[in-house]
Amino acid sequence: MPNVILVVLWRPEAADTLLRAGERLAELSGGGAVGALAVQPPPTFEIYMADGNIPEEVLARMRADGRERIARLRAAFERWAAEARAAPFPAHWAFLEANPLDPVRDRGSRADFVVISRPSAGHGWAERQAFETALFRTERPLLVVPPDHPAAATFGRRVGIAWRDDGRAAKAVLPALRCLAGAERVALLCGVRGGAAPPAVPAILREHEVQVEQHVLPIGPGPFGQALLAAAHAFGADLLVMGAYAHSPLREMILGGVTRWMLAHADLPLLMRH
């Protein structure tokens, strides 16, 4: 059964990177269809978010900018889809004028993987909400791609796995197993406090016969996310698999420290699952 890869497109300048990352993910996971989803919030949504205080001329400009954004996304998709390939695969385009939370949640929950750009401070409210919906509401593994990542079409050769012995890490690793068959090397990156003994290789990796190199990272006073990213770079990882943690079950957008740090700073693709 082929995989379904949903690529959420928002910024035209990042579209090509995301589409190529989706194509690479389909290749790593054994083949599948890549579907691009572009969403434009309707004028009523824009008015609601501004408490009805948008002048008509500003609203008209916002509508025109939205149409231009979608046209540029569609053009990027068509250029990418038209490229000659040795092994063609299905590629689909979908555009909806809607509150972005609903289509991202509904279509994402039916996909095997969701591909989305890493959030940044410059992203607007709707774009940030689309990301949080993909991460917390689809219950699917999420490939988070840095903007303009130069190796979006080649990741998966050296894979780092950020491991802690709990359910979140196992949920992230399980779908990633499909992507590890072609990896040249896999590193298990484990944080350890106060000279404690390193943990054993997780059963989920032993049972699936994944050969890993274990790297123990001391947990010190600084941000552990910084140490984790440095270890991934030292290993030469081009993909990092990790769980996504939240401090509060009532407000899941309040991210745990490592998750928050990685989403702010990671310069390689992250395969995450909440």
The ranges assigned to domains in the chain are 3-145, 158-273
Are the C-beta atoms of 145 and 21 separated by less than 8 Å? yes
> Distance (Å, rounded) from C-alpha 26 to C-alpha 112?
10
Half-sphere exposure of 112 (CA within 13 A, CB side): 21
Mean pLDDT of 15-27: 94
Largest interatomic CA distance in the chain: 64
φ/ψ bin of 129: left (φ > 0), alpha (ψ from -120 to 50), beta (otherwise): alpha
Q: Do domains 3-145 and 158-273 have the same CATH topology?
A: yes
- What is the CATH T-level fold of the domain 158-273, as seen in this structure? Rossmann fold (3.40.50)
> Distance (Å, rounded) from C-alpha 131 to C-alpha 123?
10
> Distance (Å, rounded) from C-alpha 71 to C-alpha 57?
21
**Residue pLDDT, tens place only, 52-106:** 567 778 778 888 888 999 999 999 999 999 998 877 889 999 999 988 889 999 9
**Residue pLDDT, tens place only, 250-259:** 444 444 578 8
> Distance (Å, rounded) from C-alpha 239 to C-alpha 47?
40
Q: By C-alpha distance, which of 178, 158, 174 is closest to 232?
A: 158
Helix (H/G/I), strand (E/B), else coil: 40: strand
Q: By C-alpha distance, which of 115, 219, 228, 257 is closest to 162?
A: 228
If one compares 246 and 247, the residue with the highest pLDDT of the two is: 246
pLDDT band at 34 (very low <50, low <70, confident <90, very high): very high
Determine the number of helices (DSSP H) and then strands (DSSP E) in the chain.
9, 10
271 has a pLDDT exceeding 50: yes
The pLDDT, as a whole number, for residue 46 is: 53
| Cross-strand pairs, 139 | none
Helix (H/G/I), strand (E/B), else coil: 273: strand
Q: By C-alpha distance, which of 197, 207, 156 is closest to 180?
A: 156
Mean pLDDT of 238-263: 70
The pLDDT, as a whole number, for residue 246 is: 61
Which one-letter amino acid corresponds to residue 46?
Answer: E
The pLDDT, as a whole number, for residue 36 is: 98
> Distance (Å, rounded) from C-alpha 17 to C-alpha 115?
10
**Residue pLDDT, tens place only, 151-191:** 667 899 999 999 877 767 888 888 899 889 889 999 999 88
Please state the pTM of the whole predicted model. Answer: 0.90
If one compares 251 and 20, the residue with the highest pLDDT of the two is: 20
The pLDDT, as a whole number, for residue 165 is: 73
274 has a pLDDT exceeding 90: no
> Distance (Å, rounded) from C-alpha 179 to C-alpha 86?
20
Cβ-based neighbours of 118, under 8 Å, separated by 6 or more: 144, 145, 146, 147, 263, 266, 270
265 has a pLDDT exceeding 90: no
**Residue pLDDT, tens place only, 99-152:** 888 999 999 999 999 999 988 777 778 888 899 999 989 999 999 999 777 766
Cβ-based neighbours of 266, under 8 Å, separated by 6 or more: 118, 144, 146, 229, 240
What class has domain 3-145? alpha beta
Range from 181-190, 196-205, 263-272 carrying the lowest mean pLDDT: 196-205
